Amino acid sequence: MHVSQVADGIYQLAINIENMLFEGLWEIPDGVSMNSYIVKGEKTAIIDGVCGWDGVPQNFFDMLKDLDIDPASIEYVILNHMEPDHTGWIEDLKKISKDFKVVCTKKAEPMLEAFFNHTENIMVVGDGDSLDLGGRTLQFAEIPNVHWPDTMATFDVETGTLFSCDAFGSYGKVDHGNYDDLLSEEDLQFYEKEAVRYYANIVAAFSMFVDKAIKKCASLPIKIIAPGHGVVWRKDPNRIIEDYKRYVQYQKGPARKEITVLWGSMYGMTESGVNHAVKCLEKEDDIKVNVVRVPQDSWGKILGHAWTSTGIVLAMPTYEYKMFPPMAAALEELGKKKVINRKVFRLGSYGWSGGAQRELDDINTRLKMNWDFVEPVEYKGAPTKEDLKRIETGVSALVEAVREAVK
Protein backbone atom coordinates (compact mmCIF):
# COMPACT_ATOMS: atom_id res chain seq x y z
CA MET A 1 0.00 0.00 0.00
CA HIS A 2 1.60 3.27 -1.13
CA VAL A 3 0.59 6.89 -1.36
CA SER A 4 2.54 9.24 -3.60
CA GLN A 5 2.13 12.52 -5.43
CA VAL A 6 1.82 12.34 -9.19
CA ALA A 7 1.51 16.07 -9.90
CA ASP A 8 0.04 19.17 -8.35
CA GLY A 9 -3.24 18.08 -6.70
CA ILE A 10 -3.00 14.49 -7.97
CA TYR A 11 -2.10 11.56 -5.72
CA GLN A 12 -1.72 7.87 -6.37
CA LEU A 13 -3.03 5.19 -4.01
CA ALA A 14 -1.47 1.87 -4.98
CA ILE A 15 -1.87 -1.64 -3.66
CA ASN A 16 0.26 -4.57 -4.80
CA ILE A 17 -1.34 -7.92 -5.43
CA GLU A 18 0.73 -11.13 -5.22
CA ASN A 19 0.37 -14.86 -4.74
CA MET A 20 -2.78 -15.16 -6.75
CA LEU A 21 -3.86 -15.63 -10.34
CA PHE A 22 -4.84 -12.32 -11.92
CA GLU A 23 -8.36 -12.55 -13.37
CA GLY A 24 -8.34 -15.98 -11.72
CA LEU A 25 -6.20 -17.17 -14.61
CA TRP A 26 -2.89 -15.41 -15.18
CA GLU A 27 0.26 -16.16 -13.26
CA ILE A 28 1.88 -12.97 -11.84
CA PRO A 29 5.28 -14.07 -10.48
CA ASP A 30 6.27 -10.44 -9.86
CA GLY A 31 2.85 -9.25 -8.77
CA VAL A 32 0.75 -6.43 -10.14
CA SER A 33 -0.29 -3.08 -8.74
CA MET A 34 -3.78 -1.64 -8.57
CA ASN A 35 -3.43 2.11 -9.00
CA SER A 36 -6.11 4.50 -7.90
CA TYR A 37 -5.86 8.29 -8.13
CA ILE A 38 -7.18 11.21 -6.11
CA VAL A 39 -7.67 14.45 -8.03
CA LYS A 40 -8.23 17.53 -5.89
CA GLY A 41 -9.84 20.72 -7.10
CA GLU A 42 -12.33 22.57 -4.93
CA LYS A 43 -14.10 19.22 -5.14
CA THR A 44 -12.37 15.84 -4.80
CA ALA A 45 -12.63 12.94 -7.22
CA ILE A 46 -11.21 9.45 -7.03
CA ILE A 47 -10.40 7.62 -10.24
CA ASP A 48 -10.62 3.82 -10.19
CA GLY A 49 -9.97 1.60 -7.21
CA VAL A 50 -9.26 -1.92 -6.12
CA CYS A 51 -11.57 -4.65 -5.06
CA GLY A 52 -11.94 -7.37 -2.52
CA TRP A 53 -8.34 -8.18 -1.66
CA ASP A 54 -6.71 -8.34 1.75
CA GLY A 55 -7.06 -5.21 3.83
CA VAL A 56 -9.59 -3.43 1.63
CA PRO A 57 -11.31 -1.18 2.70
CA GLN A 58 -9.16 -0.40 5.74
CA ASN A 59 -6.02 0.21 3.71
CA PHE A 60 -8.02 2.48 1.41
CA PHE A 61 -9.16 4.59 4.35
CA ASP A 62 -5.62 4.57 5.79
CA MET A 63 -4.23 5.91 2.52
CA LEU A 64 -6.82 8.70 2.48
CA LYS A 65 -5.88 9.52 6.08
CA ASP A 66 -2.24 9.89 4.96
CA LEU A 67 -3.47 12.52 2.52
CA ASP A 68 -5.65 14.18 5.13
CA ILE A 69 -8.74 13.44 3.08
CA ASP A 70 -12.04 12.64 4.74
CA PRO A 71 -13.54 9.80 2.63
CA ALA A 72 -16.96 11.38 3.05
CA SER A 73 -15.69 14.49 1.24
CA ILE A 74 -15.14 12.59 -2.02
CA GLU A 75 -17.79 13.86 -4.42
CA TYR A 76 -17.02 11.85 -7.52
CA VAL A 77 -15.99 8.24 -8.07
CA ILE A 78 -14.83 8.02 -11.67
CA LEU A 79 -14.97 4.52 -13.08
CA ASN A 80 -12.88 4.29 -16.21
CA HIS A 81 -13.69 0.59 -16.48
CA MET A 82 -16.09 -1.70 -14.65
CA GLU A 83 -13.86 -4.75 -14.26
CA PRO A 84 -13.85 -5.39 -10.52
CA ASP A 85 -10.09 -4.88 -10.13
CA HIS A 86 -10.87 -1.15 -10.56
CA THR A 87 -14.24 -0.70 -8.94
CA GLY A 88 -14.00 -1.78 -5.31
CA TRP A 89 -14.05 1.63 -3.71
CA ILE A 90 -17.75 2.09 -4.47
CA GLU A 91 -18.85 -0.45 -1.91
CA ASP A 92 -16.37 0.91 0.63
CA LEU A 93 -17.53 4.48 0.17
CA LYS A 94 -21.16 3.45 0.36
CA LYS A 95 -20.56 2.28 3.91
CA ILE A 96 -19.76 5.81 5.01
CA SER A 97 -21.26 8.19 2.46
CA LYS A 98 -24.37 8.46 0.33
CA ASP A 99 -23.54 11.70 -1.40
CA PHE A 100 -20.94 10.79 -3.99
CA LYS A 101 -21.69 10.54 -7.70
CA VAL A 102 -20.41 7.73 -9.88
CA VAL A 103 -19.08 8.93 -13.22
CA CYS A 104 -18.98 6.29 -15.98
CA THR A 105 -19.90 5.56 -19.59
CA LYS A 106 -23.33 4.50 -20.80
CA LYS A 107 -22.09 0.93 -21.26
CA ALA A 108 -20.81 0.79 -17.68
CA GLU A 109 -24.14 1.85 -16.16
CA PRO A 110 -25.97 -1.52 -16.43
CA MET A 111 -22.81 -3.31 -15.24
CA LEU A 112 -22.75 -1.05 -12.20
CA GLU A 113 -26.15 -2.38 -11.27
CA ALA A 114 -25.23 -5.98 -12.06
CA PHE A 115 -21.98 -5.98 -10.07
CA PHE A 116 -22.84 -3.64 -7.18
CA ASN A 117 -26.60 -3.10 -7.32
CA HIS A 118 -25.78 0.58 -7.69
CA THR A 119 -28.45 2.54 -9.58
CA GLU A 120 -28.47 6.05 -8.13
CA ASN A 121 -26.35 9.19 -8.40
CA ILE A 122 -24.80 8.15 -11.70
CA MET A 123 -23.40 10.67 -14.15
CA VAL A 124 -23.09 9.12 -17.58
CA VAL A 125 -20.34 10.70 -19.68
CA GLY A 126 -19.03 10.15 -23.18
CA ASP A 127 -16.45 11.45 -25.61
CA GLY A 128 -15.59 15.10 -25.07
CA ASP A 129 -17.66 15.52 -21.90
CA SER A 130 -15.98 17.22 -18.99
CA LEU A 131 -16.31 17.57 -15.26
CA ASP A 132 -15.48 20.79 -13.44
CA LEU A 133 -13.92 20.07 -10.06
CA GLY A 134 -13.49 23.76 -9.32
CA GLY A 135 -10.09 25.02 -10.39
CA ARG A 136 -9.46 22.00 -12.57
CA THR A 137 -11.27 20.17 -15.32
CA LEU A 138 -11.42 16.51 -16.21
CA GLN A 139 -12.25 15.43 -19.76
CA PHE A 140 -13.37 12.00 -20.88
CA ALA A 141 -12.48 9.92 -23.92
CA GLU A 142 -14.14 6.59 -24.58
CA ILE A 143 -11.66 3.84 -25.43
CA PRO A 144 -13.99 0.84 -25.81
CA ASN A 145 -12.58 -2.67 -25.46
CA VAL A 146 -9.42 -1.58 -23.75
CA HIS A 147 -10.30 -3.71 -22.06
CA TRP A 148 -14.09 -4.08 -21.71
CA PRO A 149 -16.64 -2.30 -23.94
CA ASP A 150 -17.36 0.28 -21.23
CA THR A 151 -13.82 1.64 -20.90
CA MET A 152 -12.90 5.30 -21.01
CA ALA A 153 -9.83 7.37 -20.19
CA THR A 154 -9.92 10.50 -18.04
CA PHE A 155 -7.73 13.51 -18.82
CA ASP A 156 -6.76 16.23 -16.37
CA VAL A 157 -6.49 19.39 -18.44
CA GLU A 158 -4.43 21.37 -15.92
CA THR A 159 -1.52 18.92 -15.64
CA GLY A 160 -1.93 16.98 -18.90
CA THR A 161 -2.35 13.73 -16.97
CA LEU A 162 -4.07 10.87 -18.77
CA PHE A 163 -5.64 8.30 -16.43
CA SER A 164 -5.63 5.46 -18.91
CA CYS A 165 -6.87 2.52 -16.82
CA ASP A 166 -5.79 -0.78 -18.45
CA ALA A 167 -4.20 0.99 -21.43
CA PHE A 168 -0.44 1.55 -21.06
CA GLY A 169 -0.41 -0.66 -17.97
CA SER A 170 1.94 -3.42 -16.91
CA TYR A 171 2.36 -6.24 -14.44
CA GLY A 172 4.95 -5.88 -11.70
CA LYS A 173 4.74 -4.66 -8.13
CA VAL A 174 5.38 -0.98 -7.46
CA ASP A 175 6.55 1.08 -4.53
CA HIS A 176 6.81 4.80 -3.87
CA GLY A 177 9.20 5.12 -6.78
CA ASN A 178 6.97 3.77 -9.51
CA TYR A 179 7.57 6.81 -11.72
CA ASP A 180 9.71 6.61 -14.83
CA ASP A 181 11.73 9.63 -13.71
CA LEU A 182 12.67 7.81 -10.48
CA LEU A 183 13.45 4.41 -12.01
CA SER A 184 16.77 3.21 -13.44
CA GLU A 185 17.02 2.02 -17.04
CA GLU A 186 17.33 -1.52 -15.67
CA ASP A 187 14.06 -1.08 -13.74
CA LEU A 188 12.34 0.31 -16.82
CA GLN A 189 13.48 -2.69 -18.85
CA PHE A 190 12.05 -4.97 -16.17
CA TYR A 191 8.70 -3.18 -16.43
CA GLU A 192 8.84 -3.37 -20.23
CA LYS A 193 8.96 -7.17 -19.97
CA GLU A 194 6.09 -7.04 -17.49
CA ALA A 195 4.17 -4.71 -19.82
CA VAL A 196 4.34 -6.96 -22.86
CA ARG A 197 3.26 -10.04 -20.87
CA TYR A 198 0.42 -8.01 -19.33
CA TYR A 199 -0.54 -6.84 -22.82
CA ALA A 200 -0.48 -10.37 -24.24
CA ASN A 201 -2.59 -11.71 -21.36
CA ILE A 202 -5.11 -8.93 -20.85
CA VAL A 203 -5.70 -6.77 -23.93
CA ALA A 204 -4.07 -8.65 -26.81
CA ALA A 205 -7.34 -9.91 -28.26
CA PHE A 206 -8.49 -6.29 -28.56
CA SER A 207 -5.40 -4.97 -30.32
CA MET A 208 -7.46 -3.31 -33.04
CA PHE A 209 -9.19 -1.26 -30.32
CA VAL A 210 -5.89 -0.51 -28.58
CA ASP A 211 -4.69 0.92 -31.88
CA LYS A 212 -7.80 3.15 -32.07
CA ALA A 213 -7.33 4.23 -28.45
CA ILE A 214 -3.70 5.20 -29.07
CA LYS A 215 -4.76 7.28 -32.07
CA LYS A 216 -7.57 8.94 -30.12
CA CYS A 217 -5.31 9.77 -27.16
CA ALA A 218 -2.72 11.22 -29.54
CA SER A 219 -5.01 14.24 -30.00
CA LEU A 220 -4.61 15.11 -26.30
CA PRO A 221 -1.67 17.18 -25.00
CA ILE A 222 -0.43 14.36 -22.76
CA LYS A 223 2.34 15.13 -20.30
CA ILE A 224 1.81 12.26 -17.87
CA ILE A 225 0.33 8.79 -18.28
CA ALA A 226 -1.10 7.35 -15.08
CA PRO A 227 -2.38 3.82 -15.76
CA GLY A 228 -4.43 1.52 -13.56
CA HIS A 229 -1.53 -0.94 -13.27
CA GLY A 230 2.23 -0.38 -13.14
CA VAL A 231 4.50 2.59 -13.80
CA VAL A 232 3.42 6.23 -14.06
CA TRP A 233 5.09 7.90 -17.04
CA ARG A 234 5.84 11.56 -16.45
CA LYS A 235 9.36 11.97 -17.87
CA ASP A 236 8.77 10.16 -21.16
CA PRO A 237 5.12 9.13 -21.67
CA ASN A 238 5.94 8.56 -25.31
CA ARG A 239 8.05 5.56 -24.34
CA ILE A 240 5.07 3.49 -23.19
CA ILE A 241 2.96 4.79 -26.09
CA GLU A 242 5.61 3.58 -28.57
CA ASP A 243 5.89 0.26 -26.71
CA TYR A 244 2.14 -0.23 -27.00
CA LYS A 245 2.20 0.66 -30.70
CA ARG A 246 4.71 -2.15 -31.20
CA TYR A 247 2.64 -4.60 -29.14
CA VAL A 248 -0.35 -3.86 -31.38
CA GLN A 249 1.77 -4.65 -34.45
CA TYR A 250 2.98 -7.94 -32.98
CA GLN A 251 -0.51 -9.40 -33.30
CA LYS A 252 -0.33 -9.62 -37.07
CA GLY A 253 3.41 -10.03 -37.16
CA PRO A 254 6.16 -9.85 -37.89
CA ALA A 255 6.98 -9.46 -34.21
CA ARG A 256 10.53 -9.51 -32.84
CA LYS A 257 13.42 -11.58 -34.17
CA GLU A 258 12.51 -14.30 -31.70
CA ILE A 259 11.54 -17.94 -31.90
CA THR A 260 9.51 -19.57 -29.16
CA VAL A 261 9.86 -23.32 -28.75
CA LEU A 262 6.50 -24.47 -27.42
CA TRP A 263 6.64 -28.13 -26.57
CA GLY A 264 5.13 -31.06 -24.67
CA SER A 265 6.27 -34.63 -24.36
CA MET A 266 4.96 -37.84 -22.79
CA TYR A 267 7.93 -40.24 -22.56
CA GLY A 268 10.85 -38.19 -23.86
CA MET A 269 10.66 -39.09 -27.58
CA THR A 270 9.39 -35.68 -28.65
CA GLU A 271 11.68 -34.13 -26.03
CA SER A 272 14.72 -35.64 -27.80
CA GLY A 273 13.72 -33.87 -30.99
CA VAL A 274 13.09 -30.62 -29.07
CA ASN A 275 16.54 -30.74 -27.44
CA HIS A 276 18.10 -31.11 -30.86
CA ALA A 277 16.05 -28.23 -32.28
CA VAL A 278 17.02 -25.97 -29.35
CA LYS A 279 20.69 -26.87 -29.82
CA CYS A 280 20.43 -25.86 -33.49
CA LEU A 281 18.62 -22.62 -32.63
CA GLU A 282 21.21 -21.63 -30.03
CA LYS A 283 23.82 -21.45 -32.76
CA GLU A 284 21.88 -18.59 -34.37
CA ASP A 285 23.30 -15.55 -32.58
CA ASP A 286 20.87 -13.03 -34.02
CA ILE A 287 17.74 -14.89 -32.89
CA LYS A 288 16.44 -14.82 -29.32
CA VAL A 289 15.07 -18.20 -28.26
CA ASN A 290 12.34 -18.78 -25.65
CA VAL A 291 11.47 -22.27 -24.48
CA VAL A 292 8.12 -23.05 -22.85
CA ARG A 293 6.57 -26.38 -22.06
CA VAL A 294 2.97 -27.54 -21.77
CA PRO A 295 1.39 -28.24 -19.38
CA GLN A 296 4.21 -27.17 -17.02
CA ASP A 297 4.44 -23.49 -17.96
CA SER A 298 1.58 -21.08 -17.45
CA TRP A 299 -0.58 -19.81 -20.28
CA GLY A 300 0.44 -16.28 -19.32
CA LYS A 301 4.11 -17.05 -19.93
CA ILE A 302 3.38 -18.94 -23.16
CA LEU A 303 1.26 -16.09 -24.52
CA GLY A 304 3.84 -13.51 -23.53
CA HIS A 305 6.57 -15.28 -25.49
CA ALA A 306 4.37 -16.15 -28.47
CA TRP A 307 3.26 -12.51 -28.72
CA THR A 308 6.80 -11.22 -29.21
CA SER A 309 7.97 -14.08 -31.44
CA THR A 310 7.86 -14.11 -35.21
CA GLY A 311 8.69 -17.82 -35.31
CA ILE A 312 7.39 -20.79 -33.35
CA VAL A 313 8.68 -24.34 -33.04
CA LEU A 314 5.72 -26.49 -32.07
CA ALA A 315 6.64 -29.89 -30.71
CA MET A 316 4.11 -32.36 -29.44
CA PRO A 317 3.34 -36.07 -29.73
CA THR A 318 0.19 -37.56 -31.14
CA TYR A 319 -2.10 -38.65 -28.35
CA GLU A 320 -4.92 -41.11 -29.11
CA TYR A 321 -5.13 -40.11 -32.80
CA LYS A 322 -5.05 -36.39 -31.91
CA MET A 323 -2.68 -33.79 -30.59
CA PHE A 324 -1.20 -33.95 -27.07
CA PRO A 325 -4.18 -32.36 -25.23
CA PRO A 326 -2.40 -29.56 -23.29
CA MET A 327 -0.84 -28.38 -26.56
CA ALA A 328 -4.26 -28.27 -28.22
CA ALA A 329 -5.55 -26.17 -25.29
CA ALA A 330 -2.59 -23.78 -25.50
CA LEU A 331 -3.04 -23.36 -29.26
CA GLU A 332 -6.74 -22.64 -28.81
CA GLU A 333 -5.78 -19.86 -26.40
CA LEU A 334 -3.20 -18.45 -28.84
CA GLY A 335 -5.88 -18.51 -31.53
CA LYS A 336 -8.43 -16.73 -29.33
CA LYS A 337 -5.87 -14.04 -28.53
CA LYS A 338 -5.30 -13.74 -32.29
CA VAL A 339 -1.61 -14.55 -32.39
CA ILE A 340 -1.64 -14.65 -36.17
CA ASN A 341 0.71 -14.90 -39.16
CA ARG A 342 3.51 -16.75 -37.38
CA LYS A 343 6.24 -18.77 -39.10
CA VAL A 344 6.06 -22.28 -37.69
CA PHE A 345 7.98 -25.54 -37.70
CA ARG A 346 6.28 -28.56 -36.15
CA LEU A 347 7.91 -31.76 -34.98
CA GLY A 348 6.75 -34.67 -32.89
CA SER A 349 6.66 -38.36 -32.18
CA TYR A 350 3.85 -40.89 -32.57
CA GLY A 351 3.33 -44.49 -31.48
CA TRP A 352 0.99 -46.40 -33.72
CA SER A 353 -0.67 -43.58 -35.66
CA GLY A 354 -0.22 -39.88 -36.42
CA GLY A 355 -3.04 -37.35 -36.00
CA ALA A 356 -1.52 -34.27 -34.33
CA GLN A 357 -1.12 -32.49 -37.67
CA ARG A 358 -4.80 -32.96 -38.54
CA GLU A 359 -5.91 -31.28 -35.32
CA LEU A 360 -3.31 -28.53 -35.73
CA ASP A 361 -4.61 -27.80 -39.23
CA ASP A 362 -8.15 -27.67 -37.88
CA ILE A 363 -7.24 -25.16 -35.11
CA ASN A 364 -5.23 -23.03 -37.51
CA THR A 365 -8.11 -22.84 -39.99
CA ARG A 366 -10.98 -22.53 -37.50
CA LEU A 367 -9.34 -19.71 -35.53
CA LYS A 368 -8.02 -18.00 -38.69
CA MET A 369 -4.46 -17.98 -37.37
CA ASN A 370 -2.90 -18.05 -40.82
CA TRP A 371 0.27 -19.70 -39.51
CA ASP A 372 2.81 -20.38 -42.24
CA PHE A 373 4.39 -23.83 -41.80
CA VAL A 374 7.71 -25.12 -43.05
CA GLU A 375 7.90 -28.89 -43.74
CA PRO A 376 7.01 -30.72 -40.47
CA VAL A 377 8.98 -33.66 -39.07
CA GLU A 378 7.12 -36.60 -37.54
CA TYR A 379 8.76 -39.80 -36.43
CA LYS A 380 7.67 -43.13 -34.99
CA GLY A 381 8.98 -43.59 -31.46
CA ALA A 382 12.42 -42.10 -30.81
CA PRO A 383 14.07 -39.91 -33.46
CA THR A 384 16.68 -41.60 -35.66
CA LYS A 385 19.83 -39.90 -36.93
CA GLU A 386 17.94 -39.24 -40.13
CA ASP A 387 15.06 -37.65 -38.19
CA LEU A 388 17.51 -35.38 -36.35
CA LYS A 389 18.93 -34.27 -39.71
CA ARG A 390 15.39 -33.49 -40.90
CA ILE A 391 14.88 -31.45 -37.72
CA GLU A 392 18.04 -29.48 -38.50
CA THR A 393 16.65 -28.75 -41.96
CA GLY A 394 13.30 -27.67 -40.49
CA VAL A 395 14.96 -25.36 -37.96
CA SER A 396 17.12 -23.80 -40.70
CA ALA A 397 14.07 -23.18 -42.87
CA LEU A 398 12.27 -21.55 -39.94
CA VAL A 399 15.23 -19.35 -39.07
CA GLU A 400 15.46 -18.16 -42.66
CA ALA A 401 11.71 -17.46 -42.75
CA VAL A 402 11.99 -15.39 -39.55
CA ARG A 403 15.00 -13.47 -40.86
CA GLU A 404 13.17 -12.77 -44.09
CA ALA A 405 10.07 -11.53 -42.22
CA VAL A 406 11.98 -9.29 -39.76
CA LYS A 407 14.27 -7.38 -42.06
Output Rg (C-alpha) for the chain, integer angstroms. Answer: 24
Nearer to ligand FEO by Cβ, of 229 and 342: the residue is: 229
Asked if 83 is part of the footprint of ligand FEO (rule: CB under 6 A), the reply reads yes
Candidates 58-66, 77-85, 269-277, 315-323 — which segment interacts with ligand FEO by CB under 6 A?
77-85
DSSP-assigned letters across all residues of 220-249: S--SEEEESSS-BBSS-HHHHHHHHHHHHH
Helix (H, G, I), strand (E, B) or coil at 392: helix
81 interacts with ligand FEO by CB under 6 A: yes
- CB of 147 vs ligand FEO, minimal distance in Å: 4
In this structure, what is the dihedral angle of CA atoms 200, 203, 206, 211, given to the nearest 10 degrees? -90
State how far the alpha carbon of 117 is from the alpha carbons of 94, 110, 111, 112, in Å: 11, 9, 9, 7
CB of 22 to ligand FEO, least distance (A): 9
Distance of alpha carbon 371 from its chain centroid, rounded?
22
String of b and e for 58-93 (b: at least 16 CB within 10 Å)?
eebbebbeeeebebeebbbbbbbbbbebbbbbbbbb
Near ligand FEO by CB under 6 A: residue from 41, 228, 273, 311: 228
Residue closer to ligand FEO (CB basis): 22 or 140: 22
Q: Which is nearer to ligand FEO, 228 or 304 (CB)?
A: 228
User: 120-179: which residues touch ligand FEO (CB under 6 A)?
Assistant: 147, 166
The packing angle between helices 299-308 and 325-336, to 10°, is: 60
Q: Return the residues of window 295-334 that contact ligand FEO according to CB under 6 A.
A: none
| Shortest Å distance, C-beta 48 to ligand FEO | 8
The CB-of-51 to ligand FEO minimum distance in angstroms stands at 10
- Nearer to ligand FEO among residue 205 and residue 278 (C-beta): 205
Q: How far is the CB of 227 from ligand FEO (least distance, A)?
A: 9
How many chain residues touch ligand FEO (CB under 6 A)? 8
Q: Is 337 in the site for ligand FEO (CB under 6 A)?
A: no
For the beta carbon of residue 265, count every other beta carbon within 10 angstroms: 21
Binding residues for ligand FEO, per CB under 6 A? 81, 83, 85-86, 147, 166, 228-229
